[in-house]
């Protein structure tokens, strides 16, 4: 599975979690059984990273999300930001530009160009600040 496909899979799993109270393990098991998804090590690591660091990542989203409170963000936007920020913080081997580009592409696929631009801005602000 290509990294972009793995990110797409991680997106669907984390997005689904936003609507279910089940554990991430249950959501993954259900997805494997019902949708016959192919499990991917990178996708699962990314999903688990979001689950483990959710509070910290949401705090970062709140910090860099100008004009929008986290509870007002569309679920797609929030999910993409969670994934991308986890990838930027905890997956050092992945180039920053690749992570941001993939996040923007996910937003374009599942949302709007405006959301993609917003995500690009939030991630850009985070990267700029973290490079200081």
CATH topology of domain 3-130: N-utilizing Substance Protein B Homolog; Chain A (1.10.940)
Q: Quick check: 77 and 103 in contact, CB under 8 A?
A: no
Distance, CA of 46 to CA of 122 (rounded, Å): 19
The predicted-structure confidence for 94-117, as pLDDT tens digits, reads as follows 999 999 999 999 999 999 899 999
The predicted-structure confidence for 12-68, as pLDDT tens digits, reads as follows 999 999 899 998 889 988 888 887 677 789 999 999 999 999 999 999 999 999 788
Predicted structure pTM score: 0.93
Residue-range domain boundaries for the chain:
3-130
């Amino acid at each position: 599975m290509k990294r972009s496909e793995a990110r797409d899979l991680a997106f669907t799993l984390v997005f689904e979690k936003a609507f279910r109270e089940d554990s991430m393990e249950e959501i993954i098991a259900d997805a494997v059984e019902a949708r016959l998804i192919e499990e991917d090590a990178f996708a699962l690591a990314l999903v688990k990273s979001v689950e483990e660091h959710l509070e910290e990542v949401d705090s970062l989203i709140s910090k860099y999300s100008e004009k929008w409170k986290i509870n007002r963000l569309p679920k797609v936007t929030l999910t993409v930001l969670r994934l991308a920020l986890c990838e930027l913080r905890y997956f050092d081997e992945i180039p920053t530009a690749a992570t941001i580009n993939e996040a923007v592409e996910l937003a374009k696929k599942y949302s709007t160009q405006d959301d993609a631009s917003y995500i690009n801005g939030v991630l850009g602000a985070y990267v700029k600040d973290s490079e200081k």
